[in-house]
Copies of this chain bind each other. A is one copy, B any other.
Amino acid sequence: MSVTEIDRRALLAGAAAAAVTSAFVFRPGAAFAQSGDLEAIKAAVTAGKDATIKSIQDWIKLPSIAAEDLNMAEGAAYMAALARDAGFTDVEVVPTDGDPGVFGILDVGAPRWLAVYFMYDVKHYDPAEWSSPPLDAAIVDLDGFGKVIMGRGAINQKGPEACFLAAVKAIKAAGKTLPVNLVLVCEGEEEIGSPHFKQVVTKPNVLAALKKCEGVFIPTAWQSPSTGAVTINLGAKGIIECEIIASGEKWGRGPVNDIHSSQKAAVDSPAWRLIAALETLVTPDGNTPAIEGWFEHVKPLTERQKELVAQTAAANSEEDAKKSLGVKVWIDDLPWPEAQERLASQPTVNIEGLVAGYTGPGGKTVLPGKATAKLDLRLVPEQTVEDCLKKLRAHLDAKGFPDVEVKFTGGYNPTETAEDARIVRAQQAVYARASITATLHPRLAGSWPGSTFTDAPVSLPAGQFGIGHGSRQHAPDEYFVVESTNPKVAGVEGCVLGFVDFMYEMATVS
């Protein structure tokens, strides 16, 4: 869920940023350009292009979906094979209490180490909704973009990940040596909230390898199609996803199953109990958490973070944002800069969904035995999932709802990476030299499993990096651009060369 969130934000942030490139040309950073390796590697990337495209297509044909227990062992084995094929050694499938992770290293004796994070799972899909079958991974002409691979996982995340592996292979094919050593850590449960990924990164040999690294990144390709711009995120909110459930079974009042609604005059209603419990969680306007102690560990934005938010607000169009979101006003009719500061700084309690009783067309005279609210609660530094879940439970108990269940379904802690971390500065350098506008954003309002890396014991700077474009994550007709006719965004070759340049930059950035 999370990686998609970042991309949506990136698209929005990038929509109004200025870029004047008339045709996308990959411009290597100084480190790569001066390495003497440039021409040979560029040639190798070009020579390997068809193989890179085919590797993305082949991978898409094996979908792993944790929620459906589909091809999980097969997906992990395939991931391990891809890593070995790219030259990684010590590759192992790492068992967890859930689905396995994959780990490998590529030690070329370079002074610095860089970690890369892969997900090998994809979001589920309904083939009936696709214009090209989601597992065909067909090459399709997409208006305004050129040739794209259309298929589930094309951009989220197999396309960019395969391009990173292609970068590693191109350096070897050119007879050159990687500028950094690599640690690869992969999971197959990203789309269900990474519930067991911490078991992978804290396995002693994995943790020892990660501890050597400058930072960790996930390969992306999130250039804005209109401007070519990207966003560099310095952190993200955390998230608790949970279900709040009132039921006759737990309450001991009301019916255990749905009964006829005429009984309401004599029988208590779990649905009304849910409403009463929910109502205590937020202020009457629904906009601020009212859970006891919720703000105890909320750290205000620093002056620098406020400055970056203000810059983002100034660089983006309020009108575009409102249009894109379909909203007329922000909370409390806040002006745009204040609304953006609220977005970056405030924890939330959001209702994702309500489900009780009869949910079809028209009505049905039932008194439901159970009512559920699906919530997501966004956390900001230094709130934690563990502490907040305790507070939520304690709050419901104190308000007289000990029977109302909190079913935790997934989440991450908030994450922050320092602006002067090498993986941030390397991103800025590469983007700048490629004439790609990169907006520094202090905190994504969305969430991703970065805290697995930024939290102890791994404690690494974490982020995203990539050149190129794809979209429709979690939606039908997901795509990844392979041959770009859009002058603002790179195709597969530019994407691969971007990863090559990023590794060279990581080797030398001060």
Contact = CB atoms under 8 A, between A and B. Distances in A.
A356 B358 contact: no
Contacts of A266: 330-331, 334, 339-340, 342-343, 445
A285 interface: yes
Contacts of A261: 348, 350, 352, 376, 378
A286 B262 contact: no
A264 B278 CA distance: 16
Interface size class of A (residues with CB under 8 A): 35 or more
A18 B339 CA distance: 70
A259 B354 contact: no
A433 interface: no
Contacts of A446: 260, 262, 365
Nearest to A330: B266
Given A286-B276, A331-B266, A343-B263, A351 B362 contact: no
**Residues of A contacting B: mostly:** mixed
Interface in A245-288: 248, 252-257, 259-269, 271-276, 278-279, 282, 284-287
A241 B279 contact: no
A156 to B, nearest CB: 14
A274 B356 CA distance: 14
A409 interface: yes
Interface stretch (A139-147, A367-375, A485-493): A367-375
A306 interface: no
B255 A327 contact: yes
A472 to B, nearest CB: 14
B272 A351 contact: yes
A272 B276 CA distance: 12
A326 B248 contact: yes
A351 B350 CA distance: 21
19 contacts: A9-B262, A239-B365, A242-B363, A252-B328, A253-B329, A260-B446, A261-B352, A265-B344, A265-B378, A266-B330, A266-B342, A267-B325, A268-B286, A268-B327, A276-B284, A352-B368, A353-B363, A355-B359, A357-B374
Given A262-B447, A352-B366, 6 more contacts: A266-B330, A269-B287, A275-B275, A353-B364, A362-B409, A362-B410
- Of all A-B residue pairs in the complex, the 4 with the closest CB atoms, nearest first, are A272-B286, A271-B351, A262-B445, A353-B357
